[in-house]
Amino acid sequence: MANLKSASQPRAPGKRASQRMRLVIGAAIIVLVVGWLVYSSIQGSSAYYLTVEELKARGPSDRIVRTTGFVVAQTIHWDSQRMILQFEIADKSGSLPVLYKGVRPDLLQDGAQAVVEGRYVASGVFEATAVLLRCPSKYVEK
């Protein structure tokens, strides 16, 4: 049964083996390249979540990080003329002023859960390049 393959294709065994070897090497190269692609992309594209406390402890940095928290009530300030959005988020470890230039997200409101991505700059403000808001479960029964 195991010889079925070679029986159906009469060929010099040496040639077959070397061709098979080439095939295996080819496939191995692809696997390695893909592995490297994944590895390097994960390294380059990881956005770590830091708590407000960790962020402040590390100090100002150019690294893009994410932090998450609840939007503090009555801190949302939206300058529709200059399209600048300011608000504060708070987690268990403290609160953080956030500055974002862009359109005010639909879901931004007091108490909403926000994820902000950006840099913590020297003035102690988090300059967000992206503000994501997580919708609460859509399917709650009232």
Closest CA to 125 of 116, 115, 134, 114: 116
Q: Does 53 bind another protein (CB under 8 A)?
A: no
Site string for another protein, 58-77 (x = CB under 8 A): ------x-x-----------
The least CB distance from residue 45 to another protein, in Å, is: 4
Cα–Cα distance measured from residue 80 to residue 69, given in angstroms and rounded to the nearest whole number? 24
HSE-up of 90 (CA within 13 Å, CB side)?
11
Closest CA to 117 of 56, 68, 71, 58: 68
Binding site for another protein (CB under 8 A): 1-2, 4-5, 8-9, 16, 19-20, 22-23, 26-27, 30-31, 34, 37-38, 40-42, 44-49, 64, 66, 78, 80-83, 101-104, 106-107, 109, 112-113, 115, 117, 132, 134-139, 141-142
